[in-house]
Structures are given as structure tokens and as C-alpha cells.
Amino acid sequence: MYEERFDKRKFDELRPMEAETGIIPNAKGSARFKIGNTEAIAAVYGPEEVKPRHIEKVNKGIIVCKYDMLPFSVPDRARPGMDRRDIEISQVITNALNRAVILEEMPRAMVNVRIYITQADAGTRCASLTAASMACADAGLPMRDLVAAVAAGKIGDSICLDLTKEEEDFHEGGATDVPIALLPSKNEIVLLQLDGKVTREELKKVIEMGKKGAMEIYELEKAALKRRFLNESKS
């Protein structure tokens, strides 16, 4: 049984969050998103010429995304360079951004997205995708909507939002993690993964809780972008 969360949050409560954009001067767009002790920084470069040329698409642009967990981001120093998990997360983020960015308006162009995890306490792919989405908007890319992402899941017999690493490692009854990403204005899920076991009814509850949490993150994203543009208009 898991009757009280380790950090005393309600089962449907997100960790404290921070969001800001325009943090990297030499990038076309950039953003930082922090949720609990997980922090992601994203930078967008382009649209620019496609390299290598053989991956160019005549009728739309392409997104190339690289996710990197910095060595000091976890207590046990992470190994530098991309491993299989980093490559998989990079592709997951690319797939979601492909649904959010209107690539048809950028034919024969490439957008490079670089994401760095500076602190990690679970939920890094969701934090990365949220930061990358804000960075794309900050870069002025044509977008259908922002992407808001969070993990929900099951710990023991309890459905929970925004799991921590301590909760993911919970052994009494096990833990299930379900990363979810949403295009809120379209109510369209652009990422849904499942790590663990849940019943069909439990999965429905997890998805609904994840969508509710994503909407809270969406409001934070919009507020961060609004602050950025208001500050620019005053300068």
C-alpha cells in the first residue's frame, strides 16, 4: 500500500514548477523548465540549411533533436555522451515536436533542438519536451500549439501524478510510470508511453490525471512566454 506520498503531496498534485524563456542569447529560441528537482534547458537553432543534404525534404522542414543528461545531473555521475536511452528519448521528443510545429511552412529547412538535463529526479523526458516546446515558440516557429508533458502512474494501489525517482523505485507493490504529452487546444495526445502494469480502468484514470496535470503546465508555459514578449516590448 502507498497511502501517503514521500514528499507529502496530494496524489494529484504537481511538484513546484519554474519556467522561463530567452535564457540563451546565441540561440534562436531557448527555455528552462524545472519541476521539483528535475530541470531541463532547451535551445533551438534554425530554421537553417539542411545538413547532410540527403535528409532534406522538399515539401516540409525537419527537426533534429538531441537529449543530453549532463554528468552532474544525478548523484551517481552520468556517463558523458549519448546512450541508447538518450537516443530513444531524443526520438520521442522529435516525434512529439513534429506534431506541434507546422513543418510544411519551412520546406527544405532544418531546426536543431538541443536539450540538457541539469538536474534529474524522474520525469526528464516530459520536462525536456516541455522545455523544447517553449524554446520552439520562443524561436518564433509556426506551431499548432505548445506541448505540455508530465508523467502520471501507479504506486502500489494509488494513482499518482508527477512521480519522483523515489516513487519510481518504490518496491512494495511496484510502480508504473506513464509519460503523457498533450497539445491542449486540440486535446491531442502526442506522447503516451507505459512502463509497468496497469488495468484498462487504471490506465484511463492515469491518462485523465496526466491530462489535468498537463493543463496546469500549459498555463505556466503560456505565462512564461507572455512575460518574455512583454519584457521585449518594454525594452
80-109 residue pLDDT tens: 667 788 999 999 999 999 999 999 999 999
Low-confidence ranges of the chain (pLDDT < 50): none
**Cα 166 to Cα 5: distance, rounded to the nearest angstrom:** 10
* Three cell numbers written together for 130: 516541455
CATH of domain 17-234: 3.30.230.70
Q: Residue ranges per domain, the chain?
A: 17-234
pLDDT computed for residue 2 by the predictor: 81
SS3 70: coil
The amino acid that residue 78 corresponds to is A
Q: Edge-to-edge, what's the strand order for the sheet holding 188-192? A: 158-161, 148-155, 175-183, 188-192
For residue 75, say if its preceding peptide bond is cis, omega within 30 degrees of 0. no
Predicted confidence at residue 110, as pLDDT, reads: 96
pLDDT of residue 36: 97
CA 49 to CA 167: how far, in whole Å? 44
Quick one: pLDDT at residue 80?
A: 60
What pLDDT was estimated at residue 231? 74
Distance CA 170, CA 69 (A): 23
Report pLDDT for 72.
63
- Dist. CA 222–CA 142, nearest whole Å: 15
CA distance linking residue 89 with residue 128, whole number of Å? 9
